[in-house]
Structure 1
Amino acid sequence: MDRDQYLAEVESRLRRMFSASKSGYRTPAADRHRLEGFMQAGVFFGLTDNRELTELMEEIHFSVFGKTIRERREDQPLNWQSETVDYSAYEAPPFIRNGDTGSPVT
């Protein structure tokens, strides 16, 4: 794989990921990590550098969403991080939650 083929593949993968996100699909973490690893491999093998990959990602993001990554983050903060989950129901041991008195079975 030469430099041009590598960058074309990165572009294709980024475009698929951003397009899926725009359509409302959340890319699985494994796929995001795989893409990050693929991009870091290109840096490691000297096919590109982080600056070029960042510029490519910004360019593709803008072409898909019509705004920069920063603008999109500011427009759509991640609400799931601010949600709190009430785990108080799980503070009691399961045998108490299930109504078991703890007496042995005879």
Structure 2
Amino acid sequence: MRTIYVAGSGGQAAVDSCIGPIHFTPTDAYSLFITEHDFCGGWARFSGIGVGETVSIPGYGTYTVTARGQVPQGGTTNNVAAVFGGFPRAILQTCIPGTNQMLVIALN
């Protein structure tokens, strides 16, 4: 089981603070997004998480990874819904280094 500790919550400024994974609150109406810049540790933390793994996010729940996908950097919730065929219970998100894409991981 992987455990991801959320360092804070808020919008882009919280993500930009580079303190660790952030509960990205602007997308709360759609799903729980846990977001971290690739260069702040997000790529190292999220990129190796595979489909079928169990992920615990203390204070939020325990989930199973059901899918991995990519959306354009700066993509919208519509991009995420299109990749997953709707919204999973939670999503891990980080940029893919050296690209204009973001890795999104569906947790259910």
TM-score (norm 1): 0.25
Q: Computing the radius of gyration over CA atoms, which structure comes out larger, 1 or 2? A: 1
- Greater fraction strand: 2
Which structure: greater helix fraction?
A: 1
